[in-house]
Amino acid sequence: MNKKHEKVIAPDVGWRNVTRAGIIPTAGNAEYYETGGWRTKKPVWIEDKCIHCLLCWRFCPDSSVIAEDGKFGRFDYEHCKGCGICVNVCPSDAIDFIDEGETSEGRNDGE
């Protein structure tokens, strides 16, 4: 190992000291982090096509589909990571998937 490399790897900081995937090891804290900031694409609800089956609500891994009175209500964009699962499970193409920052004219994105 040359001198330059020795400087980069401190002797007391090895891979065993790093938390798995860098996750803070405290259970149940996800709601405190606005994971929506990770998103590059976002789902947009198309009200006219929705049949309120709630498959999107059931399959969203981040509980970011908010149901209201047994129907689709809105997306929680503070926590939606833009994984696209809701888009894929929707049986009636009622969720558009647009680039973050793109406008959604005529669509209800709840923002």
Which chain residues interact with ligand SF4 by CB under 6 A?
43, 45, 50-56, 60, 62, 64-65, 72, 75, 80-86, 89-90, 92, 94-95
As measured in angstroms, the least distance from the Cβ of 72 to ligand SF4 is: 4
Nearer to ligand SF4, 6 or 102 (CB): 102
**Closest residue by Cα to residue 80 from 48, 46, 33:** 33
DSSP state of 18: S
Exposed/middle/buried for 6, CB within 10 Å: 0-12, 13-18, 19+?
A: exposed
User: Rounded to the nearest whole angstrom, what is the least distance from the CB of residue 56 to ligand SF4 in the complex?
Assistant: 3
